Amino acid sequence: MEFMSKRDRLILTTISQAGPAGVELTALITSLSPFLTRDSIMKGLEELLLKDLIRINNLGQGEIRYIASKEVRDTMINLDISRLRVAEYIKELDAKKDEILKIQNKNQQIEELKKIVTEGLLVISAGILGLFNSMPELTIPEYIESIQPLAEILEKLYKIIEKPYTKEETEAILKIIEKYRGEKDSKMLKEILEKVQSSKEKSI
């Protein structure tokens, strides 16, 4: 599967957001001009027409409207619902974070963090899996771009709660690194990990 270009996604989503009435060409160009040149917009429109993702409605007197196909508009519904679920989760995360920070017991605090992070990862995963059936070449890159700030927050929180790698996992990772980076880098990383582990044991 090949994702659509940023240009085509931008043009298509802008047209689809105008609904079944579509958008007039001049208004479309004005809306997209901060991001794309006129030539780029016209080329993108031509390619989207060839793929039957949009159609033209010529109303006469020079008024031409571009309308996204029903499939594209239905796809955008699914995308916006997935984004809505992420937005609801962000509200929940924002409401719970202060409560979690106030917990004195560190073990209990970690457990609450695990719950909220796991919930977020499930929301994101469910969104991606759901969009695989809704023009993924359009929806998945759009979805990933929109959740990027949340993904960065969850990544930081996950580092707090993640379990250390087992010996078997560490060895498997070192083999992967050796495969792509060479034995020297693999040995260097192994030495660093051993030093980190040693310092942890001494601090216990």
With a CB cutoff of 8 Å and minimum separation 6, the contacts of 72 are 12, 16, 53, 54, 135, 138
pLDDT confidence of 204, banded at 50, 70, 90?
Answer: very low
Q: What is the pTM of this model?
A: 0.80
Contact 11, 45 (CB under 8 A): yes
CA distance 145 to 131: 14
* Between residues 17 and 101, the one the model is more confident about: 17
What phi, psi does 67 have (nearest 5°)? -125, 130
Per-residue pLDDT band at 155 (split at 50, 70, 90): confident
- CA–CA separation, 135 and 127 (whole Å): 13
Mean pLDDT of 176-183: 90
What pLDDT band is residue 200 in, cutting at 50, 70 and 90?
low
Residue 196's pLDDT band, with cuts at 50, 70 and 90, is low
Q: Do residues 83 and 99 make contact, with C-beta atoms less than 8 angstroms apart?
A: no
Has residue 21 got a pLDDT over 60? yes
